[in-house]
Chain A
């Protein structure tokens, strides 16, 4: 059980900010993902919560009590790292039991807790092995078991799947999430992988350059990115962002294209200080019915199969930026072909090139 509050928490190394001050509350039982590219401050934030790193400003509260100046071992928080920090000379069982033994727990309690946790992680059959003889996935399961066995107030996980092969990563992702749902322990999870963040997080904290860019549920962050960074970072490929000029209810895009702006967006666009605006749409927002119909036209730069679907890479003009459109896999067009397409108007977003922030729809309460 843990509620974690960060009040204006910051970290500076000399005059350089690793994390700029921010407020954030993690609710009891929540699965929070800190997401961003390397160097964005996500791991530093995690380590400050765990007590492995001191703060240079602000306070951290654990269940209402100020723990800012308490060392890690007094915070009742368990860490899981990317590299399975297991003792090679101990068996799996001894590795898992170790934290409880170190706390001086009774034999019977240790046996009971170990039995519970290995059952939960499906590693009952591995108890006698040493870590060296296990696969990467199994070693990470043992590392998780060792964190779980203590029943800490909260878990801090630092890219725990980063060192695993793609095949294990997908399975372990679901497994960690299932484990979380079964135990409901407050979890803070650090990753640079936006797919992991989307799949696992109750809420995602997107960070870049020491600054929190956006906090929201996966669906909020994906559908309504607060700025260009989040729009680009989320999704694979990221959101298409095309700069154009707004005039007379339409945005003039490269290649002589005109995009007629949905009525609901017109008030927001007409308030821009400059005519320049960035139109944002995800690859699945492009509608390519047959290549012959649609208000926009672009040339095929490349197209490729992704198994169940295909992606068309399109250029509005020569040497221009490439945009991506998701299509069914029967739709393959030759390079250089001109195709028409439309945008799903509910999925189009607009950004101010000056501030890089998303424009918001003005809600009419009338």
Chain B
């Protein structure tokens, strides 16, 4: 497998900038996720790496060598798309064997058989090998698409929202399979998604993209715990992070239109007078001796946990607690805030 490096990629479609200085590197064996909303430039980045799209500026390196002059075939990448591009009249076996039978590769049939059977086994589709793909369910078809990518040993796997078309339960199941597969094969994988759960759960590292730029790169834990901007903070985590305008006067954080006031430690002395305060829902916890008081405005029981909306004057804080709650809507509640887990951003949304 390969190490891939992107250096300052730019790309315009007409006047519209699609990529605006994109740089990152994928280490050998890494599961790297590009996360961002529609139109962020994720798919364009993928297509430039594959050689399906030519960048205006910058360079793509495979194992340290510039790949910009190489054809897609020479780059030897395996693509998995959102839409399963299978041959409906062929059997699962023949679909899996197809890339190996390409004139470029001319793999001997016994080798093909071995590799197809291995791939089918890993993806738990061995029982489907003789079926026509037209008769498969969505989940099975996507397993075959992934199987067709893993029968060969490409430089890198490029996956463009491969789970988006599946229903929630199937998506969950395939997410786990893909992660297991990638970890046990140590394949270099670049995975594109707009789904923050997919990114957090699967990635070794995540690059968050917005409007053609990389906003932040880091391990899932870093992205979640130390978001670089309010955009990233709001993109990852369910329920979303609480974001409140706040001012700092004489070492105390005050939220306008609310009794919420938090004395700050000396450490926070460098903060400007006006900030955006971010608090993750799990860092707001009802407790009998809690420092703050609010009113329970709404209770959303989700089964495994319960979402509480706590009104603190004008604003509402969202809190998440394990299991069920005895609290009643309209009642007053005491709660604490995990002081060491507060996030501060400047009014432009950059982390302080």
Shortest CB-to-CB span from A242 to chain B, Å, is: 16
- Docked Cα-Cα span, A232 to B238, in Å, equals 21
A23 near B: Cβ within 8 Å? no
Contact of A177 among B168, B175, B300, B302 (CB under 8 A): B300
A268 near B: Cβ within 8 Å? no
Contact of A170 among B167, B197, B238 (CB under 8 A): B238
Pairwise interchain contact A283-B304, C-beta atoms closer than 8 A: yes
Pairwise interchain contact A235-B179, C-beta atoms closer than 8 A: no
- Docked Cα-Cα span, A223 to B280, in Å, equals 27
Shortest CB-to-CB span from B136 to chain A, Å, is: 18
- Docked Cα-Cα span, A319 to B190, in Å, equals 27
**Complex contacts, B239 vs chain A, CB 8 Å:** 170
**Complex contacts, A301 vs chain B, CB 8 Å:** 176, 180
Shortest CB-to-CB span from A317 to chain B, Å, is: 14
A137 near B: Cβ within 8 Å? no
Contact of A218 among B200, B298, B301, B320 (CB under 8 A): B301
Shortest CB-to-CB span from B298 to chain A, Å, is: 6
B68 near A: Cβ within 8 Å? no
Given known A181-B329, A232-B169, A305-B201, contact A200–B176 (CB-CB < 8 A): no
A199 near B: Cβ within 8 Å? yes
- Docked Cα-Cα span, A306 to B304, in Å, equals 13
A93 near B: Cβ within 8 Å? no
B324 near A: Cβ within 8 Å? yes
B67 near A: Cβ within 8 Å? no
- Docked Cα-Cα span, A329 to B341, in Å, equals 15
**Complex contacts, A247 vs chain B, CB 8 Å:** none
- Docked Cα-Cα span, A178 to B318, in Å, equals 14
Pairwise interchain contact B240-A305, C-beta atoms closer than 8 A: no
**Complex contacts, A219 vs chain B, CB 8 Å:** 301, 303, 324
Pairwise interchain contact B297-A307, C-beta atoms closer than 8 A: no
**Complex contacts, A198 vs chain B, CB 8 Å:** 300-303
Contact of B304 among A174, A304, A326 (CB under 8 A): A326
Pairwise interchain contact A178-B304, C-beta atoms closer than 8 A: no
- Docked Cα-Cα span, A120 to B99, in Å, equals 59
A65 near B: Cβ within 8 Å? no
Q: Specify the chain A residue showing the minimal Cβ separation from B184.
A: A335
Q: Specify the chain B residue showing the minimal Cβ separation from A308.
A: B282
Beta-carbon contacts under 8 Å, B210-255 to A: 220-221, 224, 234, 236-240
Pairwise interchain contact A322-B300, C-beta atoms closer than 8 A: no
Shortest CB-to-CB span from B11 to chain A, Å, is: 25
Pairwise interchain contact A222-B224, C-beta atoms closer than 8 A: no
Contact of A302 among B168, B179, B240 (CB under 8 A): B179
A42 near B: Cβ within 8 Å? no
A234 near B: Cβ within 8 Å? yes
Pairwise interchain contact A167-B302, C-beta atoms closer than 8 A: no
- Docked Cα-Cα span, A322 to B178, in Å, equals 13
Pairwise interchain contact A237-B300, C-beta atoms closer than 8 A: no
Contact of B200 among A170, A304, A319 (CB under 8 A): A304
Pairwise interchain contact A174-B201, C-beta atoms closer than 8 A: no
Beta-carbon contacts under 8 Å, B168-217 to A: 168-169, 172-173, 175-176, 179-180, 183-184, 195-197, 200-202
B26 near A: Cβ within 8 Å? no
**Complex contacts, A193 vs chain B, CB 8 Å:** 168
Pairwise interchain contact B301-A335, C-beta atoms closer than 8 A: no
Count of chain B residues near A, Cβ 8 A: 45
Pairwise interchain contact B234-A167, C-beta atoms closer than 8 A: yes
Given known A174-B300, A195-B302, contact A304–B169 (CB-CB < 8 A): no
A11 near B: Cβ within 8 Å? no
- Docked Cα-Cα span, A102 to B9, in Å, equals 56
Given known A37-B167, A305-B224, contact A199–B184 (CB-CB < 8 A): no
Shortest CB-to-CB span from A218 to chain B, Å, is: 5
- Docked Cα-Cα span, A326 to B323, in Å, equals 12
Beta-carbon contacts under 8 Å, A144-182 to B: 165-167, 170-171, 173-174, 177-178, 181
Binary interface encoding of chain B residues 317-335 relative to chain A, with 1 for a CB under 8 A from any of its CBs, else 0: 0001011100001000000
Shortest CB-to-CB span from B334 to chain A, Å, is: 21
B49 near A: Cβ within 8 Å? no
- Docked Cα-Cα span, A195 to B281, in Å, equals 17
- Docked Cα-Cα span, A308 to B280, in Å, equals 9
**Complex contacts, B149 vs chain A, CB 8 Å:** none
**Complex contacts, A305 vs chain B, CB 8 Å:** 200-201, 220-221, 224
Given known A234-B303, A307-B238, contact A174–B298 (CB-CB < 8 A): yes
**Complex contacts, A222 vs chain B, CB 8 Å:** 301, 303
- Docked Cα-Cα span, A174 to B318, in Å, equals 11
- Docked Cα-Cα span, A177 to B298, in Å, equals 8
Pairwise interchain contact A236-B297, C-beta atoms closer than 8 A: no
B307 near A: Cβ within 8 Å? yes
**Complex contacts, A181 vs chain B, CB 8 Å:** 298, 329
Pairwise interchain contact A307-B176, C-beta atoms closer than 8 A: no
Shortest CB-to-CB span from A305 to chain B, Å, is: 5
Q: Specify the chain A residue showing the minimal Cβ separation from B301.
A: A218
A276 near B: Cβ within 8 Å? no
Interface residues of B (CB under 8 A from A): 37, 124, 167-169, 172-173, 175-176, 179-180, 183-184, 195-197, 200-202, 220-221, 224, 234, 236-240, 280-282, 297-298, 300-304, 307, 309, 320, 322-324, 329
Query: What are 12 contact pairs spanning A and B, CB under 8 A?
Result: A165-B37, A170-B239, A174-B298, A199-B301, A199-B302, A235-B304, A236-B172, A301-B180, A305-B200, A308-B320, A322-B176, A329-B221
Q: What are the 3 A-B residue pairs with the smallest beta carbon separation, nearest first?
A: A304-B201, A199-B300, A222-B303
Add 17 more A-B contacts to A170-B240, A174-B298 (CB < 8 A): A37-B167, A166-B195, A174-B300, A177-B300, A181-B298, A181-B329, A195-B302, A198-B300, A199-B300, A219-B301, A282-B303, A284-B323, A301-B180, A302-B179, A304-B179, A305-B220, A308-B281
